[in-house]
Amino acid sequence: MRLSRRKTLALIGGGTILAAAGGVGWEITRPLQTALLPWEKAGQYDDPRMRALSWAILAPNSHNMQPWKVDLATPDQAVLYPDLARMLPETDPFNRQITVSLGCFLELMRMAALQDGYAVAVDLFPQGEDPEGLDERPAAICRFRPTTAAPDPLFAHAAIRRSNKEPYDMSRPVPSAVLARIAAAAQRTEVGFTDDPAEVAELRALTVRAMEIEIDTPRTFRESVELFRIGRREVEANPDGLEFRGPTFEAMRLFGLFTRQAASDPESTAFQQGRTATTAPIDTAVAHIWTVTPDNARASQIAAGRDWLRLNLAAAGEGVGFHPLSQALQEYPEMAAIHDAVHARFAPDGGTVQMLCRLGYGPKIGPTPRWPVEAKIREA
Ligand SMILES: Cc1cc2nc3c(=O)[nH]c(=O)nc-3n(C[C@H](O)[C@H](O)[C@H](O)COP(=O)(O)O)c2cc1C
């Protein structure tokens, strides 16, 4: 997360600290050295599978867990496994969002390979699946073979795709035709969207409330806090999770104003202001988009991920900010009323609402950290 200067000053209670921090300017302004390198190295490998995988690791994924591991032992094959150490048991108890994330990965891998002259045949959950949770079994066997098929035009936006969590300009509507073009990028799921002011206002309130529930439920919020990476050093050491970087967060870290402990104490100023800073951007949605699958099988979750990547790329191509808001879709008891309300609204005849997102025009933002692709290859 990157906060505006004004908002961060509010968060740390004034400008004094920033002024004092001037003396340690180098420490607080030093850019990341390695955490963003995977964005530069994408496609720069000899093995065609590594070329495609080095793009796939840049896929959107819940909490930036990067929950994938790949086995390359068999020539022309990449076997995708869920990394069971990278699950989110509190907010994603059945690993639905993690599986959606694997779908995003597979679609970006497929597009990158196609761009490179390879078709990828994907065999999902070849050894079976468990709806209660992912396990040691592979999520997909991907077989690469040369092709002359045309590349996917959406791949052109892969390097500039972002999840933009900043506030959006509420005075600037996203034209309906643009929304329709974004929605048309989906191939496997039913997509709905709205820019109707009354409906968007209702969804803003609902998604803000869902975020408040997640923050106010100690065990679900703790799961996020444990993934906070505060400042450059922590981000470089663990290029995943929820990052708080940039000069203002470095200053807050140096002065002990922003710690995991303070952030998780509901009585602290850091907690209260963090809660507002997290919910406020959600309340600037200009439009919403969502996807529904007929059931909640693992294959449907993968399909939802594949389409999610496509929608995200289409939004990037249109210059429209795209911010997934999963809280209302999460399957734990405290969220049940909101989860049911969203399903009654978007899937009245049954089915699973897999993703929900706000759209609008926001500030330009940079990429998020990634582990290098080499760290994601399973030992032979
Ligand atoms: C299944 C799924 C669920 C997500 N849910 C949320 C969410 O609830 N809130 C949020 O801010 N971002 C959400 N994201 C976006 C991720 O946080 C984001 O993809 C990740 O941090 C990497 O950043 P990037 O997409 O800019 O590369 C979700 C992404 C996926 C694929």
Say if CB 325 and CB 360 are below 8 A apart: no
Would you write out the chain's pLDDT as a tens digit for each of its 380 residues? Answer: 544 444 444 444 433 344 444 456 777 778 888 999 999 999 999 999 999 999 999 999 999 999 999 999 999 999 999 999 999 999 999 999 999 999 999 999 999 999 999 999 999 999 999 999 999 999 999 999 999 999 999 999 999 999 999 999 999 999 999 999 999 999 999 999 999 999 999 999 999 999 999 999 999 999 999 999 999 999 999 999 999 988 888 888 888 888 999 888 999 888 888 899 999 999 999 999 999 999 999 999 999 999 999 999 999 999 999 999 999 999 999 999 999 999 999 999 999 999 999 999 999 999 999 999 999 999 75
CB 287 within 8 A of CB 53: no
The pLDDT value given to residue 23? 54
Q: Is the CB of 66 under 6 A from ligand 1?
A: no
Residue 99 burial (CB count, 10 A): 27
Please report the atom of ligand 1 found closest to the CA of residue 58.
27
**Residue 258: inside a domain, yes or no?**
no
Atom of ligand 1 nearest to the CA of 312: 25
Are 58 and 42 within 8 A, CB to CB? yes
Residue 259, ligand 1, Cβ within 6 A: no
Structural domain span for residue 308: 163-212+282-360
Q: Is the CB of 326 under 6 A from ligand 1?
A: yes
Provide the 10 A C-beta neighbour count for residue 362.
22
* Distance between Cα 148 and ligand 1 center (Å): 33
Q: From the CA of 105, how far away is ligand 1's center (Å)?
A: 13
CATH code at 198?
3.40.109.10
Cα distances from 249 to residues 149, 221, 257, in angstroms, run: 47, 20, 9
Residue 100 neighbours by CB under 8 Å, 6+ apart: 62, 301, 302, 304, 305, 308, 354, 355
> Cα separation of 284 and 88, whole Å?
27
Q: What is the pLDDT of residue 209?
A: 98
Residue 324 beta carbon below 6 angstroms from any ligand 1 atom: yes
- CB of residue 104 inside a 6 A radius of ligand 1: yes
Distances (CA, A) of 151 to 77, 110, 181, 359: 20, 10, 19, 27
Best substitution site from 63, 322, 339 to test ligand 1's pocket, by max atoms within 8 Å of Cβ?
Answer: 63
What pTM does this model have?
A: 0.94
Q: Are 305 and 293 in contact (CB under 8 A)?
A: no
Taking the CA of residue 365 as reference, the ligand 1 atom at the shortest distance is: 26
Task: State the distance from the centre of ligand 1 to the C-alpha of 320, rounded, in angstroms.
Answer: 16
Q: Is 257 left (phi over 0), alpha (psi -120 to 50) or beta?
A: alpha
Bridge partners of 230, per DSSP, are 244
Q: How much is the pLDDT for 380? A: 54
Domain tally, the chain: 1
Atom of ligand 1 nearest to the CA of 61: 31
Closest CA to 91 of 204, 182, 223: 223
* Protein residue with its CA nearest to atom 20 in ligand 1: 64
pLDDT at 15: 37
Please report whether residue 177 resides in a domain.
Answer: yes
Q: Which residue, judged by its Cα, is nearest atom 1 of ligand 1? A: 97
Return the residue whose CA atom lies nearest to atom 17 of ligand 1: 63
Retrieve residue 106's tokens: 């597979």
Ligand 1 centroid–CA 67 distance in Å is 13
Please identify, by atom number, the ligand 1 atom nearest to the C-alpha of residue 165: 11
Beta bridge partners of 290: 192, 356
Instruction: Name the DSSP class of 377.
Output: B
Nearest CA to ligand 1 atom 12: 324
Spatial CA neighbour of 189 closest among 356, 304, 279, 28: 304
Residue 122, both tokens: 């994907």
- Inter-residue contact 161 to 104 (CB < 8 Å): no
Cα(138) to centroid(ligand 1), Å: 23
Which contiguous run of DSSP H or E holds residue 122? strand 118-124
Q: Is 256 exposed, middle or buried (0-12, 13-18, 19+ CB in 10 A)?
A: exposed
Q: Which of 49, 51, 54, 52 is nearest to 38 (CA)?
A: 54
* Cβ 231 vs Cβ 249: under 8 Å: yes
Closest protein CA for atom 7 of ligand 1 = 325
Report residue 179: phi and psi, to 5°: -60, -40
Task: Kindly state whether residue 292 falls inside one of the protein's structural domains.
Answer: yes
Q: Ligand 1 in contact with 217 (CB < 6 A)?
A: no
Report the distance separating Cα 357 and Cα 325, nearest Å.
Answer: 5
Residue type for 121, please? Answer: A
